[in-house]
Structure 1
């Protein structure tokens, strides 16, 4: 048994003062008022371990992460990537695209990495976005078979590339890859297997199709067109009225000397405007950092993504909920992750200062606990 005391405690919903948390057998046994503790964290804030809803452990955040997939030692690099998340206070990650289902079986103990909720290879069209991960399926029957295969493999979520993307030659974010029949089939099969369905969707049309098909989360949701960014107010209103969760792609770490392509960099201000529109409309959101896809997206990026959204105009309390309790719900682990409450996993993060008044406190971890074990 272990007791921890901190001046501030964010329980996944609200901030409290001077609490003692009792941990027993990897779970939180009790949360009580002021009193003595085995570990006194002083002026720190204790939070639930953070949850990043969109990472790629197989990508190494190099200038060409796709080419690196074929280098020997991929599993070891994925373990190191997972470790980077854990050291940043991220105790749960949702891996939305790997090769050969490797993220399902990295063999990490609680003190070695976060809990990994994996999708395996994303379902995509022949030659479509991320086809080289091995998830190609064309037509309704093939899509159904692909989802059933993932369910048999034991995935935690089904990822479908509704639109194209930027990392694949010949694929474009503004173009659809699947029509309504295939998308409905994917969601039907996922839900029949008891799995959530995540839609990679950049374009306005792709977002609208994903919403109508009943996907549980929409990744990116950036409203990218061929040459610009064009949010659709009707779709945003429909998102706000639906149970869908938008996984906002936020956060970068500047890399000196690295030139970001102009066609991407020029869209950033308008993409920030889309985020503000979604937030103002009341759309439920979480954060998916997309860690691993580029040098500006290193593993362990989530604390930087929090700063990104707060700088964009989001209230810190809403962002903290988005990376704890709301994220846990979106990932279907809300009964045991994302909160500091009796019965929940003892995944904990202690940071210097109060992240509600200074979100950069999340970049100053004092201690990380995974299932009650100090990392």
Structure 2
């Protein structure tokens, strides 16, 4: 393809338009290493969270804070990746104005692949950020779309790294002219990532709570000092029937009133609510151990439990407690939190609280438990 006359190459298409020494392969490789680490961490922890919600039977009940740590790390790394992606795009955006736009079929396919990769990354990071705000300004289901975008972005990233492996290897450690300028730029990028992390990670890292200035959620705000994602009004459970009973189905079925539950041995456990939006908060939960209820109805060893909520609709109205959680001594049918009767928004009259379990699976407003 012949080069057009200089008169036709205007604006950013002119030769030498981008003169900054920072638009070079070395800077792109350094920022790319940081971005790759953040995206890989975000992808692996997000994949773990998705698998837990789809099929929790394989997840152990210990460590108690396991899901809290992995999901917190997922959101922290995702937010940190946003300024890193901006810095990476800034270092390479002059490539958009290369002339000719496509030197060959392979070059055109490479550029198309990069366009798909960038679009997938931007969608993945910003839909994830909007999810932490519980704001969904789109018509498609978030979780499934987020899951497949993650695969698309990660697969595109691996293909891009493979295609650019020779250039990446050449500039992995090799410094280029303009070292002081590059150091200043990389220091600014690192500082921005640190600032974003420091001012948002407190929603899941307790010892950073004091610096939690811009996180979407404050883990200490809400009814009884705990945040709420789905309120009783949203679930249609603001009015609990006066004759509420808990049905426990098993070899010897039981129907228990709230007074009956209160007369059973009560246990207390310090457990976190850890939500997919990244926030988590610990509280003291008091109630009846699920394994004691299973013994009362003669459940066999290794039984699972299906839990049903009073709410009429919702994706997590019915959940399963796998064997490890159902028989764990810390898993409670909670009746109180921090010494107080559960508020309606926290699941009154009873809710499940189990260790190492996503908040969406800690079923509220429980009305039925079925031995499987």
Which has more strand, going by share of residues?
Answer: 1
The structure whose Rg is larger is 2
Settle same-fold status: TM greater than 0.5: no
TM-score, structure 2 as length reference: 0.24
TM-score, structure 1 as length reference: 0.24
Which has more helix, going by share of residues?
Answer: 2
